[in-house]
Amino acid sequence: DQEMALHGREVIHTLTAAGHEAYWVGGCVRDELLGRAIHDMDLTTSAEPEQVIALFPHVIPTGIQHGTVTVMQGGHAFEVTTFRTESGYADHRRPTEVAFVKDIREDLMRRDFTMNAIAMAEHGERVDPFGGEADLRAALVRCVGRAEERFEEDGLRMLRCIRFASVFRFRVAFNTWKGMIRRREGLRYIAMERVRVELEKMLAGPDPLRGLEMLGRSGLLGCTKVPVPWEQCEAQALKGIVQLQEELRWGLLLMSCRLTSVVADELLRAWTFSNAVRLRLVHLLEWETELIYSTSVIAGDSVTEESDIINDEALRRSWIRLLIRLGKDTASDWLDLYNTLPASFRGLPPWVEKHVAKTAEMASLWTKQAVVVRIKDLNITGNELVQAMNRPGGPWLGQMMEQLLQAVACGDIPNETETLLQEAKRVMSSE
């Protein structure tokens, strides 16, 4: 970090020494003033892209038509953007025209919030025409200029506003909030991918409930291209959300809306999540549904105190069936989630609830005990079975392998080739 700052200073120094103006700007200045870690450094300069390119040996023309080039210095990448204005936001998203300007103030004017519109020169001198530092001290997110117009130009800014308020635990300035309510319909024009990225940053922060509450209160979530079924959310289920790993926070959110795995799958696709994340979350919801289903089957209509032991064993067996179907990672995800849920929200039947503390404990034990949960972990192959049984392959083979897996995973028989063959023969002859 220190090192990146030094190289950033070199870039600024080179530009200044050549007679241009150059500053740190945006998120890095804001984060520096807040005493937060800085992850990337954006620089802004009066020099035009060609002039920047001429001054440094390693420059990548990343967005040269918008005035942005990436300067490589000391192994770090710095985005250097020429002072510019933006105009013509016909589609509520992206400016259609940019123009280079000579005055840093004009550049700062196009930026979204006062705290993001502070420029810092080589020796720390600030250019802060909109009172960004004062707003940082007051913990306020405030638009540069008239909020309604700024949100109308670019609807994503509304989500950025709530994201910053949530992550920094700031409040939203009154006029900014009012402008957001008036312009919230404009969120419809924003690609879900960009919406998702903002929500991800918000959810990953230290106080996601703050952002979720603001999203609910402002009605913004209902205005996205793919509306989020926020109305169904049971807020009390989210109390323990910060204890969860970032991706699992989405799982809790989906679960708190009581979405089925099928509906969740569609939503996650529409929100442009990666396949890996989508499947992880869908499996999680499937686990929840299946577990509730199988426990209700076990419980039947009448459950008595005496049936506890039988129930525990039946529960263990359905747990292992789920392990085989959805994998151990899903089991540990589900347990993490279950542990944060308030008792009133846990969807398991009362006889399982009675053992709430015990259930999670036992379940993690069962997960550890069942070392064999995949067919390929069995100490026998389909070929070996075909030969030993002297029978051509067919549907029976897959069924047999699954039956053996179930028996081994439950601990009924050891995972030894000889035992597995005997068991297969026993099953076959009893049919």
Residues that bind ligand ATP (CB under 6 A): 26-27, 42, 111-112, 116-117, 154, 156-157
Residue with smaller CB distance to ligand ATP, 218 or 295: 218
Region from 23-31, 237-245, 295-303, 337-345 binding Mg ion, contact rule CB under 5 A: 23-31
Smallest gap, in angstroms, from Cβ of residue 398 to ligand ATP?
A: 49
Report the partner that residue 156 touches, choosing among ligand ATP, Mg ion, none (CB closer than 5 to 8 A by kind).
Answer: ligand ATP
| Residue 316 binds which of Mg ion, ligand ATP, none (CB < 5-8 A, kind-dependent) | none
Strands 84-87 and 97-100: antiparallel
The residue type found at 44 is: T
Residue linked to tokens 């069962």: 366
34: contact with Mg ion by CB under 5 A: no
List all residues 6 or more positions away from 320 whose beta carbon is below 8 Å from its beta carbon. 366, 370, 373, 406, 409, 410
We find the least distance from the C-beta atom of residue 155 to ligand ATP, in angstroms, to be 9
CA dist 12 and 366 (Å) reads 59
Tell me the closest approach of the beta carbon of residue 39 to Mg ion, in angstroms.
7
Q: Which position's Cβ is nearest ligand ATP? A: 27
Contact between residue 281 and residue 247 where contact means Cβ atoms under 8 Å apart: yes
- Give the integer Cα–Cα distance in Å for 389 and 422: 10
Least Å from the CB of residue 66 to Mg ion:
16
Nearer to ligand ATP, 127 or 237 (CB): 127
Rule CB under 5 A: is residue 63 a binding residue for Mg ion? Answer: no
Tell the smallest beta-carbon distance from residue 138 to ligand ATP (Å): 18
* 222 lines the binding site for Mg ion (CB under 5 A): no
154 binds, among ligand ATP, Mg ion, none (CB under 5 to 8 A by kind): ligand ATP
The nearer residue to ligand ATP, 115 or 401, going by C-beta atoms, is 115
State which residue, 46 or 116, has the beta carbon closest to ligand ATP.
116
Q: Is 131 in the site for Mg ion (CB under 5 A)?
A: no
Q: Which of 27, 129, 219, 222 binds Mg ion (CB under 5 A)?
A: 27
Q: Give the footprint of Mg ion on residues 311-340 (CB under 5 A).
A: none
Residue 132: contacted member of ligand ATP, Mg ion, none (CB under 5 to 8 Å, by partner type): none
Q: Give just the sign of the alpha carbon dihedral 272, 273, 276, 282.
A: negative
Nearer to Mg ion (CB atom), residue 25 or residue 315 = 25
- Among 27-35, 143-151, 212-220, 383-391, the segment contacting Mg ion (CB under 5 A): 27-35
Minimum distance, C-beta of residue 27 to Mg ion, in the bound complex (Å)? 3
Distances 218 to 162, 178, 232 between C-alpha atoms, Å = 10, 9, 16
Instruction: Return the number of the residue (26 or 186) whose C-beta is nearest ligand ATP.
Output: 26
State the minimum distance, in angstroms, from the CB of residue 417 to Mg ion. Answer: 58
| 190 interacts with, out of Mg ion, ligand ATP, none, CB within 5 to 8 A per kind | none
Q: What is the contact surface with Mg ion in residues (CB under 5 A)?
A: 27
